[in-house]
Amino acid sequence: MIGRFVQAASIAIISFGLLASCAGTKTKLIAQWKDDAYQGQPAKIFVIGLSKEYGPRTLLEDEFVRQLSERGNVAIASYTVLPRDEKPDKEAVLAKVQEVGADVIIAVKFLKKETGDTHTPLRRYAVPQGFDTSWDSYAGYDVTTDVGVRDVSYDRDVITMETTVFQAATRKPIWSALAQITYQNAPIKQIKPFTTAIVKELAQERVVR
Amino acid sequence: MNRRLLVMIVQCMLVASIGCAATQIKQVWKDEAFQGGQLDNVLIIGMLKNNTARRAFESEFVRYFKYRGIIAVESFRVLPTDALEGDEARDAIAQKVQELGISAVLVTKITGNRTKEETIPGMTITTGYGLPFGSYGAWGSYASVGYSFPGPSEPTTQAYSHEDKFLVLETQLFDVRTEKLVWAVQSETRLSGAPQSEIKPYVAVIADKLFREKLFKQ
């Protein structure tokens, strides 16, 4: 009886693990750079999402501002001060940065999106019934049940984003990172975990508070 | 006894790590006529299109040079990415080299890539039931009498195939004074994920090879 319970539990755990890994969203920093000479702490951060689409850009910038503010930074989203319909050039952005008194710029850029297929092949296990009940029940080994994990095939998307932190005064980069976001559901839902990963790293590297 | 065992374990781990290294040196060339120990101010150029990858690559190399007390400059600090493209790249680099008093230029570029497909056949592992019992030394070998229980105990796996991707890279060292190539290495890096993840291990392998040649003033 207990053996069957353990068997059922094992199947449930394996299935849950597979489901979790299939549906999982992951943000991974694949390359990171920091200017070792930079020692400052930003007074005001200007966040700009370099996206053609206004909606996702505002969501991204707002999330960055929210998470940076939570850590005690002062941050401003670019869409609140830059015109909506036209794509501002570099000089216009820098002029606005100066106008709002920001000393650090966080620029987030979408680089590419790829679609990949992941396939987990079938595995089959023979589980003896009564396996773990007691020494006495080992005779029950003559009854076995084949349980297996079905082969699973699913598509996942991978987005690559580049985040660069510039010093407004020198216009030089002080930190940058390439992040790969692997996901299955809507890309818009990846904004929060991506921002969390970046802001956490920025804080660890002491680029922001 | 324990010490000998420890040494053996460390040796085995070293051999295993070398065997598993993603970057394999394919070819090394050195100008035997070149008088080493002269170069001391090096410009590091990573011909990579992505800015973060280029910065990470060049700064990683610079760390190795600085550790050995050799002055080195990342090219991204003095040359924008577009300056490394096109026919004017050589002139732009030459101008910076002169301005900064550079004595050597270390250039790394991707020269190719290849894909290798490998098929892993399906497997069925058959184990005898009596085996785990018989292996209990303290219990004696009574179980080795051979408890034979019927029924399948054959974990099976399906055959599958996977692709290995490789990146071919070349790192070259030029002597500014003569404008000649003095050292070059060609390597192949197996990619287990994003190519950018291989920057640190690649630089470690190449820097080790480079500094063994004693080309720099130290």
Residue B13 identity: M
Give pLDDT tens digits for B7-57: 666 565 554 554 467 899 999 999 999 987 889 999 999 999 899 999 999
Residue B190 identity: R
Say what the pLDDT of residue A134 is: 39
Q: Which residues contact B156 (CB under 8 A, 6 or more apart)?
A: A123, A124, B122, B123, B124, B125
Residue A80 sits in a domain of what CATH number?
3.40.50.800
Chain B neighbors of A30, CB-CB under 8 A? 193-194, 196-197
Which residue segment(s) compose the domain that B148 sits in?
Answer: 123-157
Say what the pLDDT of residue A101 is: 97
DSSP string of A83-136?
-SSS---HHHHHHHHHHHT-SEEEEEEEEEEEEEEEEE--EEEEEETTTTT-GG
User: How does strand A152-167 pair with strand A173-183?
Assistant: antiparallel
Q: Which residue has the higher pLDDT, A156 or A116?
A: A156
Chain A neighbors of B151, CB-CB under 8 A? 126, 128, 141-144
Answer whether B153 sits within 8 Å of A162, measured CB to CB.
Answer: no
pLDDT band at B160 (very low <50, low <70, confident <90, very high): confident
Confidence check: pLDDT of A169 > 50: yes
Give pLDDT tens digits for B72-112: 999 999 998 888 888 888 899 999 999 999 999 999 999 99
Say what the pLDDT of residue B128 is: 52
Say what the pLDDT of residue A186 is: 86
B148/B171 same-domain check: no
This complex has an ipTM of 0.72
Instruction: Kindly state whether B142 is in contact with chain A, defined as any CB-CB distance less than 8 angstroms.
Output: no
Confidence check: pLDDT of B124 > 50: yes
Tokens standing for B159?
Answer: 């055959």
B80/B37 same-domain check: yes
Say what the pLDDT of residue A28 is: 94
CA B18 to chain CA centroid, Å, is 10
Tokens standing for A100?
Answer: 């709002």
Number of compact structural domains in chain A: 1
Top mean pLDDT of A99-108, A115-124, B124-133, B160-169 is at A99-108
B149/B100 same-domain check: no
B101/B32 same-domain check: yes
